[in-house]
Structure 1
Amino acid sequence: MKAYIFNIPDVVLLMTAAECLLLAIFHTILPKRGRDDGRLLTAFLLIIAVVSSLTLVLWNDQFTLSPWFEQSLVPYLLLSAQLLKGPAIYLYFSSLTKKSFALNRKHALHLIPVGLLILALAVLGVTSADLRHLSTGTASAPAEYAIEWIWDFACLVPFCYAIASLRLVRRYRKELQDEYSDFSEVELHWLSALTWGLLLSWGWTLLTHIVAKFSSSVVSDYMGIADNYVTFILINAFFAYSLTYAHQLLDTKPEESREPVSEDEPSEPAIAKVRNAMESERIYLKKNLNLEQFSERIDLPAKEVSSVINKHFGTNFFEFVNSYRVEAAKALLADPEKSDMTVLDVLLESGFNSKSAFHRFFSRLVGMSPTEYRKRAAAGTLDEDPTGS
C-alpha cells in the first residue's frame, strides 16, 4: 500500500506557502508608486509563507528537515512570524490610508512582542517537541502552562492588530468625509471587507486555540483545517485588491493638519464666508470639490473651514456639500421648464458625478427617489406624507 506524504490540509498549507512566495516575487517587480504599501504587502506575504511552511514542518511527521533546525529554530521562526503578521498588515493598511506614509524608527516598537516571545522561548528552552507534546497533553505541567501562555500570546496579538486595522479603515472613511465631497465607495467597501475578513480569520484562529483546550483533538483539528482554507482565500483577496483597487484610494491629510484651530466657536466672518460660498457663489456645483479647493476659493485656512462646518453646521464636508447639491436637484426636478432633463442630467447639473451617490443621498434626505419626487412635484402633492399615512 502506498504511503501518502501529504493529506489535503497539508496540500493547502503547501499551496499557501508557495503562492505567497510567488505573489511576493511578482509584487516586487510591479511598478512602484512612491509609497511603502508594496513592500509591506510583500513582507506580509512572506510572513504568511513562513507560517504556513513551518506549520507543515511542525505537524507533518513525514516531512523532516535538519534535526537541529526542526527542533531548535522552528519554534522561534514560527511563533515570531505568527506575531509579525499583525504589524505587517496594520502598517500596510496605514500606508494605504495615510498620506505620505513612510516607515520610521517608531515603527520598530511593533517588534517588542516578538522580542518578548523570543526571550520567553530561550528562557524555557522550548523545542518543536514541546509544541507537539502540548497538543497531545504529554508535556509536563509547568512547561505546558508556560507554552500555553506563549501560544495564547501569539494568537491574541494578531487578533488585536486586526481590530486596530478595522478602526484604521473606519477612521479613514471619516477623514474622507471631512475632506472630499465625492469619493468612490467601491474601494472602501472592498477594503472594509478585507479588514472584516482578517478579523474573522484571526478571531477564528484564536477561537480554535481556545477550543483545543477544552474539546477533543478532532474538533480542534477540523477548526484548524478550516483556518488554513480561510487563510488561502484571504491571501488571494489581498493580492487582488492590491492590483485592482489599492492605487485608487484617495489621500488624506496628516492627522496634525486636521486638528481644529481652537476649542472656541468659529467666528461670524468665517461662518459668513462659508455660507456665502454655498448660497451665493454655489461652489458646490463644482465636481470633485474638496476641502482644500473650497478653502482656497474663500481665502480661509482649511482647518478653519473644517471648524465652521463641523462646529457651526454640525456635519462633515461630505454631507455639507452634498446636502446643497440635493437641494439644487430638487429645484431642477420640480421646475416644469426643466421637465425635459433626464435624472442623469439633473445630477450632473447639481454637482454630483456619481449616479449611485446621488440616488443614495437624495433618497436619504428627501425620503423618496428623484423620479418619485418629480412625479409628486408635477402633481402638486409634494406636501403629502410620502409613506401615505
Structure 2
Amino acid sequence: MDKLGFLDGVARIAVFVSLLLALFLLTVKTENKLANRLFACFIIFSAIDFSGLLDYSFPLEYVNLEIFRSTICLLEMPLIYLYVLAVCYSDFRLKWRHLIYTLPFVVMNVVFMPRFYLQSGIVKEQFIAVYNQMSEVYFFQILIELQYWFYIISIFLILKKYREIYLENYTNPSTSTYKWLFQMNCVFAVMHSITASKNLLRYTASRDTFLWGNVLMVVMALCVICWFVMKALNHPELFRGINSQLQLTKDFLPEENDSVTEVVNNQDEVISAQILALKNYMTEKQPYLDPSLTIQELANQFNVPVRDLSILINHHMNQHFFDFVNEYRIQKAMNILKDQSKNQLTVLEILYEVGFNSKSSFNTSFKKHTNLTPTAYRNAL
C-alpha cells in the first residue's frame, strides 16, 4: 500500500472511531450532560478535521465545502475551553454571549470570501491548486496558532483559580479534577507543538515526509481522544464541579492601610479566641468525619458567616480549608494506627473511618504530614 493509501486508511479509522465515541458520549447517562455534549461536539469537529486527509475530492459544484471544512478546526479549542468551564463549575450554563468564541471561524470564512467563495468554478479550482501559497492560508495558519495558544493559556489560568477556590472551600475528592484537566491541557499543548512542527514540513521537507507526519498526528490524536473518553467514563468522580460564585479569600479581604492595620492589631485577642474555639469544635464534634464537608457546611455548624470562617482559616491561620480539615483526619488516622486494639483494621477501613473517600488522596495527605505512607507509619510503630 502506498503512503497516500495508508494515510487514507488511518484517517477513515480515526473518523469512524471518533464519531462512534461522540455518539456514545451523547447517549450515555451522566449527571454532567453539558460537559459530555461539549466534548462530543469537539470530537465530531475533530472527525471532520481528520476527514481532510481522506483520499477524495469534492465535486466542483460543492468545492466550497472543502474550504469550509478546513476552517472547522477554529471551533475545536473554544469547545474545549467551554468543556473545562462546564467540568470545573457545576453551575456553568451556555449563554448567547459564548457565541463570541466563534468569531475567528467567522472571520476566516469572511477572509476567504472575495477570492474564493464569491468566485467562479475555474477560479476556485486554481485557488485550490495553489492553496498552500495563498496569502489567505498564511493568515489562516497564523490565526490558528494565536487562537490555540490563547486558549491553552486561558485554560491554565482557569485551572489555577479553580484549584485555589477548591482548596479554600472543599476537602474531597482531593484535586483530581484539577490534575486531570491539567494533564489534558498539557497534552493539547504538546500535541499542537508537534502539529505546528509537522505543518512546517509542508514548506521545508519532502512530500513523503509530510505525509508520514500526517499519519503520525492522526494516530496520536486518535489515541488521545480515546484516552480522554475512557478517563471520563471510568472516573466519573473527577467531574464534580464547584460553584462559580465562590470567591477567593484575598478577593474580599479589606485593603491594607494604616487604619485597617490598627483595627486588626486591636483584634488579635478576638481572633486568637476564635481560632481556639474552632479548634476545640473540630476536636470535640469531629465534623471532618464527613467526607463531603465544605466550608459552607462547617460555617453553618459553627454558626459563623462563611466569609468570616474563610478569612479565619485561609488568612489568619494561613492554611487552606483543604489542609486544615485533612490535618484532623490524618491525626485521627495516626491515633488509630497507634492503637493496638485496632491493628486488625486495614488502611482502607481507616481512611473511610476518618473521612477520606479516596486511597490516593489519603496516602498523599498522610505522606505530606508524616513523610511516611500509612503502612510504613504502622510498621515503624
With normalisation by structure 2, the TM-score equals 0.81
1:254 aligns to what SS in structure 2? Answer: coil
Tell me the equivalent position of 2:70: 78
| Cα distance in structure 1, aligned partners of 2:175 and 2:326 | 15
Q: CA, structure 1 residues 162+12, in 2 after alignment: closer, same or farther (shift >3 Å)?
A: farther
1:300 aligns with 2:304: yes
| Cα distance in structure 1, aligned partners of 2:96 and 2:44 | 22
Report deviation, 1:130: 3.5
Matches within 5 A, 1:162-177: 162-177=152-167
Residue type matched to 1:74 in 2?
E
Q: How many residues align?
A: 361
1:133 aligns with 2:125: no
Higher helix share: 2
RMSD of aligned Cα (Å):
3.2
| Cα distance in structure 1, aligned partners of 2:225 and 2:77 | 14
Tell me the equivalent position of 1:21: 19
- Residues 197-225 of structure 1, C-alpha deviation per residue, up to 9 Å, x if partnerless? 22222222222223434444443333222
1:362 aligns with 2:373: no
Residue type matched to 1:38 in 2?
N
Percent identity for Structure 1 against Structure 2: 22
| Cα distance in structure 1, aligned partners of 2:14 and 2:125 | 22
Tell me if structure 2 keeps the 8 A contact 1:17–1:50.
Answer: yes
- Residues 223-261 of structure 1, C-alpha deviation per residue, up to 9 Å, x if partnerless? 222111112222222332343334652221114555654
Tell me the equivalent position of 2:121: none
Single out whichever of 335-344 and 221-230 deviates more from structure 2: 335-344
Residue type matched to 1:202 in 2?
H
| Cα distance in structure 1, aligned partners of 2:183 and 2:357 | 25
| Cα distance in structure 2, aligned partners of 1:255 and 1:221 | 48
Tell me the equivalent position of 2:99: 108
Tell me the equivalent position of 2:244: 254
Matches within 5 A, 1:322-361: 322-334=326-338, 343-344=347-348, 346-361=350-365
Q: CA, structure 1 residues 23+355, in 2 after alignment: closer, same or farther (shift >3 Å)?
A: closer
Q: CA, structure 1 residues 376+77, in 2 after alignment: closer, same or farther (shift >3 Å)?
A: closer
Q: CA, structure 1 residues 233+121, in 2 after alignment: closer, same or farther (shift >3 Å)?
A: same
1:7 aligns to what SS in structure 2? Answer: helix
1:282 aligns with 2:286: yes
1:125 aligns to what SS in structure 2? Answer: helix
Residue type matched to 1:235 in 2?
I
Tell me the equivalent position of 1:8: 6
Q: CA, structure 1 residues 304+129, in 2 after alignment: closer, same or farther (shift >3 Å)?
A: farther
| Cα distance in structure 2, aligned partners of 1:338 and 1:26 | 46
Unmatched 5+ residue regions in structure 2? 118-123, 256-263
Residue type matched to 1:303 in 2?
R
- Given candidates 43, 57, 61, the residue that maps to 1:45 is 43
| Cα distance in structure 2, aligned partners of 1:42 and 1:375 | 48
Unmatched 5+ residue regions in structure 1? 378-389
- Given candidates 44, 61, 64, the residue that maps to 2:57 is 64
Residue type matched to 2:331 in 1?
E
Tell me if structure 2 keeps the 8 A contact 1:156–1:206.
Answer: no
Tell me the equivalent position of 1:382: none
| Cα distance in structure 1, aligned partners of 2:235 and 2:348 | 26
Q: CA, structure 1 residues 349+212, in 2 after alignment: closer, same or farther (shift >3 Å)?
A: same
1:209 aligns with 2:207: no
1:361 aligns to what SS in structure 2? Answer: helix
| Cα distance in structure 2, aligned partners of 1:291 and 1:41 | 31
| Cα distance in structure 2, aligned partners of 1:17 and 1:239 | 15
Report deviation, 1:119: 1.9
| Cα distance in structure 1, aligned partners of 2:51 and 2:334 | 60
Residue type matched to 1:318 in 2?
F
The structure whose RCO (Cα within 8 Å, separation 6+) is larger is 2
Single out whichever of 84-93 and 193-202 deviates more from structure 2: 193-202
2:285 aligns to what SS in structure 1? Answer: coil
With normalisation by structure 1, the TM-score equals 0.79
Residue type matched to 1:224 in 2?
N
